Amino acid sequence: MTVRPILTAPDPRLQAVSTDVETVTDEIRTLVDDMADSMYAADGIGLAAIQIGVASRVLVIDLDQKEGKKNPIGYINPKIIWASEETAVFEEGCLSVPEIWDDVERPARIKCEYLDRDGKKQTLEADGLLATCLQHEMDHLNGVLFIDHLSRLKKSMAVRKLTKAKKLKETA
């Protein structure tokens, strides 16, 4: 498959709201495979299609990646259908927000529906890191970055750091 470049903030394309996938086709399955390869190349555990410039409601997650195993799961048109009132805080990072990490509070447990790579409807209950990762990646599908959940001061510091890093990269 193909490793595609990952967009980084403050790229305005990351703010796009992704559209539903009408039908799961070979093209969508190739997109999922390319996303997994791109995620592995960047040493990540999750990636949304918009992060590689494709505004489709597709994401891929592989929590086993950190143990050196590959078990990517594609989620097409994922929707949260239930979220717990109980919350959990995880330190989050993002391939589109390099070198920035901060605590984000989200529902501790969720239930979501999605289509798998064969176009079959699936339901999943998740907690812990998987619940956090799913919510983080689904935020991308709505044009939201994890830094959007931070205080205005922390977000502005992160954006300044990212803008400065991008300018340095462009002049190098």
Task: Tell me whether residue 115 is in a domain.
Answer: yes
What's the confidence (pLDDT) of residue 162? Answer: 84
Question: Over 80: is that where the pLDDT of 170 sits?
Answer: no
Residue 43: give the domain boundaries: 12-171
Query: Which residues are designated catalytic?
Result: 137
Structure tokens at 149: 């959940």
Strands (E), 11-86: 46-48, 58-61, 73-83
**Measured CA distances, 46 to 72, 86, 139 (Å):** 9, 23, 12
* pLDDT (tens digit per residue) in 50-91: 999 999 999 999 999 777 889 999 999 999 999 999 999 999
Q: Indicate the number of domains in the chain.
A: 1
Task: Tell me whether residue 4 is in a domain.
Answer: no
Q: Is 142 helix (H, G, I), strand (E, B) or coil?
A: coil
Task: Tell me whether residue 6 is in a domain.
Answer: no
**Percent of the chain beyond pLDDT 70?**
99
- CATH number where 35 lies: 3.90.45.10
Which phi and psi (to 5°) does residue 95 adopt?
-65, -25
Most confident range (mean pLDDT) of 63-67, 120-124, 154-158 is: 120-124
- How many angstroms separate the CA atoms of 140 and 150, rounded? 15
